[in-house]
């Protein structure tokens, strides 16, 4: 129990939190390594992150099997991933402003192109993922209606 919250409630979203926190730390550390001109070390950080996730995920509690809770989780995930897509758009817009103000003059051209290509991919993937979650929740809702008839 932590601050009056039972441990089962705290572990409810633990899988996605582990994935997101390790991913964020991996990206931040790799960005720092690349900007300090350590070009070979990011692969070791990436492999370490994958190994860490592979060790931690099996120790977490299993996900829920209740259809109503799954549908609610899918709708929440859809809204969250859509918001993440808007944050990616904001980040890309800030990078464009930085590009025109000369922030990236020390980076090679291929690095700048790769950065904007990756930003575009993240935006596409976020909105595509939000649509997938919403479609999955809609299918789950339709199957619930057919079962009750």
Query: Tens digits of per-residue pLDDT, 78-126?
Result: 999 999 999 999 999 999 999 999 988 898 999 999 999 999 999 999 9
DSSP 8-state secondary structure symbol assigned to residue 62: P
- Reported as a pLDDT band with limits 50, 70 and 90, residue 5 is low
Query: Tens digits of per-residue pLDDT, 29-75?
Result: 999 999 898 889 999 999 999 998 889 888 877 777 778 888 888 89
Instruction: List the chain domain ranges.
Output: 1-63, 64-149
Listed in sequence order, the DSSP H helices in the chain are: 7-10, 14-35, 41-56, 67-100, 109-148
Q: Which residues make beta-bridge pairs with 5?
A: 2
Is the pLDDT assigned to residue 26 strictly greater than 80? yes
- Averaged pLDDT, 127-142: 90
State how far the Cα of 102 lies from the Cα of 84, in Å rounded to an integer: 27
Could you tell me if 130 and 81 are in contact, meaning their C-beta atoms sit under 8 angstroms apart? yes
């Amino acid at each position: 129990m932590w601050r009056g919250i039972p441990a089962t409630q705290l572990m409810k979203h633990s899988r996605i939190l582990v994935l997101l926190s390790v991913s964020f730390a991996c990206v931040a550390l790799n960005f720092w390594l690349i900007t300090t001109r350590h070009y070979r070390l990011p692969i070791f950080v990436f492999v370490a992150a994958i190994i860490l996730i592979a060790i931690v995920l099996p120790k977490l509690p299993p996900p829920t099997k209740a259809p109503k809770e799954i549908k609610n989780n899918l709708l929440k995930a859809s809204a969250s991933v859509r918001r993440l897509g808007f944050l990616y758009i904001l980040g890309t817009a800030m990078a464009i402003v930085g590009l025109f103000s000369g922030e990236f003059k020390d980076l090679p051209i291929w690095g700048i192109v790769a950065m904007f290509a990756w930003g575009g991919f993240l935006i596409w993937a976020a909105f595509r993922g939000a649509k997938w979650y919403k479609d999955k929740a809609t299918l789950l809702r339709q199957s619930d209606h057919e079962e009750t008839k």
